Structure 1
Amino acid sequence: MATLYQRYQKKDELKSDMTARKAYLVPIAEIYTEDGYNVRELNQAHVAEFKDAFMAGEYIPPLAVEITERGVKVIDGHHRYYGALAATEAGCEILRLECKDFIGTEADKIAFMVTSSQGLALTPLERGAAYFRLENQGWTNAQIAQKVKRSESDIIQHLQLHKECSGYIKSLVRAGSLNYALAIDITREHGVYADTVVAKFMEKAESAGKKKITKSIAKPQFPAAKKNRLIELVYKSTKLISQDRQHDYLMLPKGVKDEVMEIFEAYRKYVEDQNEPQPE
């Protein structure tokens, strides 16, 4: 069976533009990770998946690394690295890991971690933190968007999540109890009262047997069915004009007054709930 190396050796003869980017088998003892460097939080379930893959002898893509005074630092592949350590602890002796040099600036490294297809999808909080690191290096929202291949509005929204939302609200986003976009809306609407408001929303959700604050809880809408029913009820009303022509009146058809008043009362309660005073 022919190999890529054999084809590469004949690239001139084949008039091929094929190039080579070498990988190296690095002793695992020489590899290290830097705390807080990875834009992804370590997911132990994902580490376990790589542990099982190593123990089963499956192919694992090479780590992206850079050489430092300390040794070989992981740029991308943290879960693979810790999966290898876990496999070693479980009795599968792994002497070396395949690694490739990462070439680029610090911003390139962050963007690579964001866009890497080898890792877990970034959570909104991880994405916001990564964008903030790029922003701190002087990158504009437009430049970050181009770098990580996302829209500029996506960059702005995740930066708002990172910079404006409280630790409590972020904890709910992390736990999946609050959508990040809704978290931003609530924070912007309620400001310093956001935590108290969100806590009340969480209580409402839990009392309804839910584990997540939904838009219907945080931003309830008056039922469209009641609106439509009110239109049906008053559609055949008769218009009356007062003698002094200072007021207009609608005379409801017989038998609909009570239902109309019920809808008015429901709307009154809805408005009161929406205008609930801010916490002290």
Structure 2
Amino acid sequence: MSTLERLHKNKAESGKNITTRKTFLVGVDELYIEPGYNVRDIDPTHVEEFRDAYIAGEHVPPLTVQVTDQGVMVIDGHHRWHGAKLAQEAGHEIRLECKDFVGNEADRIAFMVTSSQGRALEPLERAAAYQRLKNQGWEPAEIAKKVKRSVADVDHHLALLTVGDGLIEMVKTGEVAATTAVAMVREHGAKAETVAKTQLAKAKAGGKTKLTRAAAMPQFSAARARRLVELLAGAESFAHGDASALELSQQVEFEVLAILEEYRSSQTKEVA
């Protein structure tokens, strides 16, 4: 049976288009993690899965590292490193396959965001990574290009970090979606957290575990809004001092006022 190594060695004769990229086997203790550097929070369950994989001798993708004055720093593969540490503590000798990372700090952040080897980023983790790039002077359009996402995605995640501690905590616990939290702040401003807590309490009283966008931001009936436009469309305007006014029949006026009261009532319920 042939191997890629043999094909590579004989590529001149075989005509195969094959090149190599070196990886290295590095002892667990030769590697280190810089606290707070990883954009992903450490998930103990994910760590244990890697521990079991190492103990079972299963294939695990290589870590991406960079050599520094302190040693070999993990750029991508923090969960794999923690899993290997647990496997080592269980009595197994572990060497991790590693490959070099080449690039600057912005490149490293973008790599952690776009890496397909780690678990999917949570919204707040992605937001924190974007903020790191912003702190380095990057504009949203530049960040979007760097991480291969849209400018709207970058703007949304940066906005998520400004919704306030209360809403951020609700996003962390999964009680409110990140998109809902941002939308509520745009709708209610400083009252967003209060509205969210009130609406969440109502949702939980109804047996729900999280606050949906529909429940968080109930919309005024589109049918009633259309009816209001229909009623006003036939009204005649006339001068009224320095302004102007609409002339309505008594029957139309009563219906218009009723619709307006419904709207005010719906808004009061949202911010109560």
State the TM-score bracket (shorter-chain normalisation): 0.7 to 0.9
What residue is the counterpart of 2:65 in the other structure?
Answer: 65
Q: Which moved more, 1:7-16 or 1:148-157?
A: 7-16
For the residues of structure 2 that align with 1:94 and 1:274, how far apart are their CA atoms?
63
Equivalent AA in structure 2 for residue 116 of structure 1: S
Between Structure 1 and Structure 2, how many residues are aligned? 253
Equivalent AA in structure 2 for residue 119 of structure 1: G
1:167-223: CA deviation from partner (whole Å, max 9, x where unpaired): 221111111111111101112232222222222122111111111111222111345
Q: Is the 1:176–1:212 Cα contact (8 Å) retained in structure 2?
A: yes
Q: Which moved more, 1:114-123 or 1:132-141?
A: 132-141
Indicate the percent of aligned positions where both proteins have the same amino acid: 47
For the residues of structure 1 that align with 2:197 and 2:210, how far apart are their CA atoms?
12
What residue is the counterpart of 1:96 in the other structure?
Answer: 95
Q: 1:276 to 1:53 in 2, by over 3 A?
A: same
Q: Is the 2:224–2:259 Cα contact (8 Å) retained in structure 1?
A: no
Q: Which of 160, 165, 168 is matched with 2:166 structurally?
A: 168
Shift of 1:17: 3.9
Q: Which of 176, 179, 184 is matched with 2:177 structurally?
A: 179
For the residues of structure 2 that align with 1:125 and 1:131, how far apart are their CA atoms?
10
RMSD between superposed Cα atoms in Å: 2.8
TM-score under structure 2 length normalisation: 0.83
What residue is the counterpart of 2:239 in the other structure?
Answer: none
Q: 1:63 to 1:248 in 2, by over 3 A?
A: same
Q: Is the 1:84–1:94 Cα contact (8 Å) retained in structure 2?
A: no
Q: 1:16 to 1:134 in 2, by over 3 A?
A: farther
What residue is the counterpart of 1:115 in the other structure?
Answer: 114
Equivalent AA in structure 1 for residue 210 of structure 2: K
Equivalent AA in structure 2 for residue 62 of structure 1: P
Equivalent AA in structure 2 for residue 129 of structure 1: A
1:75-112: CA deviation from partner (whole Å, max 9, x where unpaired): 00011111111222233x13311111111111111111
What residue is the counterpart of 1:271 in the other structure?
Answer: 264
Moved over 4 A (4+): 264-270, 276-279
Shift of 1:277: 9.1
For the residues of structure 2 that align with 1:16 and 1:61, how far apart are their CA atoms?
25
Q: Which of 212, 217, 220 is matched with 2:218 structurally?
A: 220
TM-score under structure 1 length normalisation: 0.81
Equivalent AA in structure 2 for residue 102 of structure 1: F
1:8 partner SS = helix
What residue is the counterpart of 2:156 in the other structure?
Answer: 157
Structure 1 unaligned regions, length at least 5: 232-245, 252-260
For the residues of structure 2 that align with 1:171 and 1:63, how far apart are their CA atoms?
31
For the residues of structure 2 that align with 1:47 and 1:146, how far apart are their CA atoms?
31
1:2-45: CA deviation from partner (whole Å, max 9, x where unpaired): 11111111223334442211111111111111111011111111
Q: Does 1:191 align with 2:189?
A: yes
What residue is the counterpart of 1:26 in the other structure?
Answer: 26
For the residues of structure 1 that align with 2:194 and 2:134, how far apart are their CA atoms?
30
